[in-house]
Amino acid sequence: MLNKKELIDLIFNEDNAYLTDFQNHKVFNSILSDVLYLEEDLRQNNLELHILSAYRSFNSQQSIWNQKVLGQRDVLDERSKKIDIRNLTNEELFFKILNWSAFPTLSRHHFGTELDIADGIYLQENPRYQCQMIDSEYLTGPFKNLFQYTKSNLKNFYHPYQKDLGGIKPEPWHISNNISKEIISDFTYEIFLDFLNSDLLKDILLLDIAKKNSKLLYHQYFLPRLNV
Ligand SMILES: [Zn+2]
């Protein structure tokens, strides 16, 4: 569906032609009809689609990543508790960050096919509520009904991170459009290696550790979710 040049455009250029605006976010053009269907479907079930995050460019992901490496943004453990990163080796820090943040270029949010969602009705009734995107909000808290519904009733979307596969932790707020499967299969390991060795990634912190673990990153943290 997308060749290497087109993938570079989609991932690295935020103003590329593949994206359409929705709720102040950007989504991949051809998923818009599925997003509108989802919005209506949720409305009929007394829920409201509120997008917390959709397309994210390489630059935004790189800035999240680098801030975590530098201790300017919290790094959380598997239970969403803040980690004291001062005693970690660079390699340990690298993998702790990967629990919740994809390595830049390997975030599915780069494709515009992914949505992090919350229930807009709750957010309107509780305007001061700050959504944290942690498990408890979706398993027992304010977005429980939303997660319960989306777990089994989605059309053309699915929850890629429902089970802990040893890579990224389960993310009940994250849904993925089926089209992502095609884009992921276009994005080969060879393309990822080209990225790692190109100037495009020269400003990423801990790049040497990514290069050393490129196979693991690609196969365990990116690909497995293709078939979930
Ligand atoms: Zn997400």
For the chain, domain boundaries: 4-227
pLDDT band, residue 226 (cuts 50/70/90) = very low
DSSP H helical segments within 22-177, as ranges?
32-43, 58-69, 90-98, 120-125, 135-139, 144-153
Provide the pLDDT confidence category of residue 78 given band limits of 50, 70 and 90: confident
Q: How many angstroms does the Cα of residue 114 sit away from the middle of ligand 1?
A: 6
- Calculate how far, in angstroms, residue 126's C-alpha sits from the geometric centre of ligand 1: 23
Mean pLDDT of the 189-215 span = 97
Looking up tokens 């270029």, which residue turns up? 105
163/201 Cα distance (integer angstroms): 30
Q: How far is CA 86 from the centre of its chain?
A: 26
Average pLDDT over residues 152-161: 89
- Residue 85, CA atoms < 13 Å, CB-side half-sphere: 20
Cα(5) to ligand 1 centroid in Å equals 24
Mean pLDDT across the stretch 65-81?
92
In this predicted model, what pLDDT tens digit does every residue of 15-29 receive, in sequence order? 999 999 999 999 999
Q: Is the pLDDT of residue 93 over 50?
A: yes
- 96 C-alpha to center of ligand 1: Å? 17
The verdict on domain 4-227 having CATH code 3.40.50.2000 is no
Task: Give percent of the chain above pLDDT 70.
Answer: 94
* pLDDT greater at residue 48 or residue 159: 48
- 109 CA to centre of ligand 1 in angstroms: 6
Which amino acid is located at 136 in the chain? S
Mean pLDDT of the chain: 93
Name the pLDDT band for 80 (thresholds 50, 70, 90).
Answer: confident
User: In the prediction, which pLDDT does 162 show?
Assistant: 60
Give the pLDDT confidence score for residue 225 in this predicted structure: 56
| Global pTM exceeds 0.85 | yes
DSSP letter at 17 equals T
CA of 97 to the centre of ligand 1 (A): 14
Structure tokens at 18: 């593949």
Q: How far apart are the CA of 115 and the centre of ligand 1, in A?
A: 6
